[in-house]
Amino acid sequence: MVHVRTLSRYPSALVVAGLVLGMLSVPRAQAPVAKAPTHATRAKRLLIHNAMVIYGNAKPAYGPMDILVEDNLIARVAPAGTIKAADAVIDATGKYVMPGLVNTHMHWQDERGGVPMPIQYERNLYLASGVTTTREVGGDFEKSKRWQAESAANTAIAPRMQVYWVPNRGNGTPEALRANVREAKARGADGLKIFGMDRDQLEAVMDEAHKQSLKTTTHIAVEEVTAADFIELGVDSIEHFYGVADAAIDGIQNFPPDHNSSNEVHRFGRAGELYAQANRQKLSQVVDAMVARKVAWSPTLSIYEASRDLTRAQNLPWYRDYLHPAVEAFFSPNLDNHGSYFVGWTNTQEVRWRQQYRIWMDVLREFGLKGGTITTGDDTAFIYSLYGFGMVRELELHEEAGFHPLEVIKHATVNGATLLGLGDRLGRVRQGYLADLLVVNGNPLENLHVLNPTGADMNVNGRNVRGGAVEWTIKDGIPYHGPTLMREVKDIVARARAARK
């Protein structure tokens, strides 16, 4: 899909020529104030008028306010009606404005199971779901670095990107792993996503990462090391749930004799028994250690949800129009595709996973209450979770874990930006910050469902009315129209389905 877009950072050639020649007619100079922005086109001065503001740092909403965006920055936040002149105006009456979401665990994919898929499909879904910043934790590194540059230059319609490097998956001597970390630095990695290490290897990788000033995160599998090792060695964040509970088990997890970790039905089935086997007191101690050593947690609650309710996951209503056939095929239960482990999935397995979620969420809540930094990531296009939709679901599940919606939004904005090292310029509605903003149809503090790109049910004077969704996602000062992005996604899916027949 080709997007044609004009960057209107500067006045049009006509206006410039008119100014130069001193011939500019009066009506042209006094541009009408109520001009709506154009999708994917930056206005010199973009005014968001009359909005309720959610700042991102968990302080209560405030408004109505005017927010002026100049180039790629939030130039002013002032009471509604105080800012007059603008080149484009979003009327945010009855709407909420909040910072763009930071997705701290995702993967850029232009194929699933070898079936190609346009990358714009994923980009549009994320933007339409309010994601303006992404951290890729493992992908096609060179391709992602290219896409990152396109996003930074705004030549692609895409969220901001950080690209992490996965050091050799635990292969090699400590010295070889050190060399691999240096290579990551030389090739421009924004950090390391560490996976599958023995203790001596991990010591080498962490030491070299610190020497190279590379940030680190980890997906801890069931392996020699647990969260305790990563906390001790100074990791910046922990993904998912594994490792944390493994550090709190008396002994090791009780696997049956036939358990084979290469079989995902075994692996994900047993993973649902992990928290029930952990010692609750030790779990609190792991949490204390994470807080003390400032280790953040990106729990990715939404990605495992099919394990606790498969029928829900398989019948999400937005799949009808927005599920690309490449992803659909990848999801169907089979032992070859990662995360498609629902071969003969049983009610007993779902019940265990539900229990797992209850304990996991309690531990996450305890971590938050003790001052731990929690972020939001969706890790989608696995396990019946779709780009963007998974991120909104992640926020909903953080509320289920016990957090107030204001705290949930902080996880998804301020905390994410802080973890990525961008907290001084991103993740808040504040003058001088980067203009990554969402204009939401409805109040996410009343109902986080309104962030879903297909909208939510609303009670309008006792009648159920379909509403909600992000109307405008502004990234780097450029407004993207949510419904337009979703229409394009629908077209991509329709064309891919037609081509299959």
In terms of CB distance, is 122 or 379 closer to Zn ion? 379
Q: How far apart are CA 66 and CA 83, in angstroms?
A: 7
Least distance CB 163 / Zn ion (angstroms): 13
**Closer of 364 and 496 to Zn ion (Cβ):** 364
Instruction: Render the burial of 101-130: b for 16+ CB within 10 Å, e for the rest.
Output: bbbbbbbbbbebeeeebbbbbbbbbbbbbb
Type of residue numbered 33: V
Supply the minimum distance, in Å, between the C-beta of residue 164 and Zn ion: 10
Distances (CA, A) of 459 to 64, 359, 485: 22, 33, 26
The residue whose Cβ lies closest to Zn ion is 379
Q: What is the smallest separation between the CB atom of 121 and Zn ion, expressed in angstroms?
A: 18
Does 394 engage in binding with Zn ion (CB under 5 A)? no
Supply the DSSP string of 158-174, one letter for each residue: --EEEEEE--GGG-S-H
- Residue whose CB is less far from Zn ion, 379 or 394: 379
Distance from C-alpha of 389 to C-alpha of 139, rounded to nearest angstrom:
20
Shortest distance, position 120 Cβ to Zn ion, whole Å: 21
The C-alpha R_g of the chain, in whole angstroms, comes to: 23
* Three-class secondary structure assignment of 361-416: HHHHHHHHHCCCCECCCCCCCCCCCCCCHHHHHHHHHHHHCCCCHHHHHHHHHHHH
Residue 86 sits at the vertex; the CA angle it makes with 81 and 88, to the nearest 5 degrees, is 110
Contact 388, 129 (CB under 8 A): yes
Q: How far is the CB of 219 from Zn ion (least distance, A)?
A: 7
Stretch that binds Zn ion, among 270-278, 360-368, 379-387, 444-452 (CB under 5 A): 379-387
- 87 is an interface residue for Zn ion by CB under 5 A: no
**Residue 379 interacts with Zn ion (CB under 5 A): yes or no:** yes
Shortest distance (Å) from residue 331 CB to Zn ion? 15
| Of 255, 251, 245, nearest in space to 280 by CA | 245
Per CB under 5 A, which region of 2-10, 259-267, 377-385, 418-426 contacts Zn ion?
A: 377-385
Decide: 248 and 290 in contact? Cβ < 8 Å: no
Q: Which two tokens stand for residue 453?
A: 């790109």
Closer to Zn ion at the Cβ: 379 or 476?
Answer: 379
Residue closer to Zn ion (CB basis): 379 or 488: 379
Torsion sign over Cα 290, 291, 294, 298: positive
To the nearest whole angstrom, how small is the minimum distance from the Cβ of residue 429 to Zn ion? 29
Pairing assessment for the beta strands 437-440 and 296-298 based on DSSP bridges: unpaired
Cβ closest to Zn ion, residue 241 vs residue 433: 241
Query: 3-state secondary structure string, 122-156?
Result: HHHHHHHCCEEEEEEECCCHHHHHHHHHHHHCCCC
User: Measured from the CB of residue 100, what is the shortest distance to Zn ion in angstroms?
Assistant: 21
Residue 101's beta-bridge partner residues?
131
Select the span of 339-347, 353-361, 371-379, 385-393 touching Zn ion (CB under 5 A).
Answer: 371-379
Q: Which of residues 169 and 500 has its CB atom nearest to Zn ion in the complex? A: 169
Q: Residue 380 Cβ, how far from Zn ion at the closest point, in Å?
A: 9
Nearest CB to Zn ion, comparing residues 106 and 426: 106
Residue closer to Zn ion by CB (options 287, 303) is 303
Least CB distance to Zn ion at residue 32 (A): 47
Closer residue to Zn ion (CB): 154 or 217: 217
Secondary structure of residue 447 in the 3-state scheme: coil
Q: Phi-psi region for residue 116, left (φ > 0), alpha (ψ -120 to 50) or beta?
A: beta
Binding residues for Zn ion, total number by CB under 5 A: 1
The window from 320-328, 334-342, 378-386, 428-436 that contacts Zn ion (CB under 5 A) reads 378-386
Nearer to Zn ion, 74 or 106 (CB): 106
Which residues 448-477 are close enough to bind Zn ion by CB under 5 A?
none
Among 469, 283, 451, 307, smallest CA distance to 359 is for 283
Question: Applying CB under 5 A, which part among 9-17, 228-236, 373-381, 396-404 lies near Zn ion?
Answer: 373-381
Looking at beta carbons only, is 264 or 379 nearer to Zn ion?
379
- Cα angle value 334/336/340 (rounded, 5°): 45
Contact set for Zn ion, span 117-156 (CB under 5 A): none
For Zn ion, which stretch binds (CB under 5 A), given 9-17, 334-342, 376-384, 449-457? 376-384
List helix spans (H) across 153-279. Answer: 174-186, 199-211, 227-233, 264-271, 274-277
Contacts of 453 by beta carbon, 8 Å cutoff, 6+ apart: 125, 128, 129, 318, 388, 389, 392, 469, 470, 482, 485, 486
DSSP β-bridge partners for residue 297: 238, 374
Binding segment toward Zn ion, per CB under 5 A, in 5-13, 203-211, 375-383, 491-499: 375-383
State in angstroms the smallest separation of the CB of 442 from Zn ion: 30
Give me the least distance between CB of 377 and Zn ion, in Å please. 8
Cβ 125 to Zn ion, closest distance in Å?
16
Nearer to Zn ion (CB atom), residue 223 or residue 476? 223
Binding site for Zn ion (CB under 5 A): 379
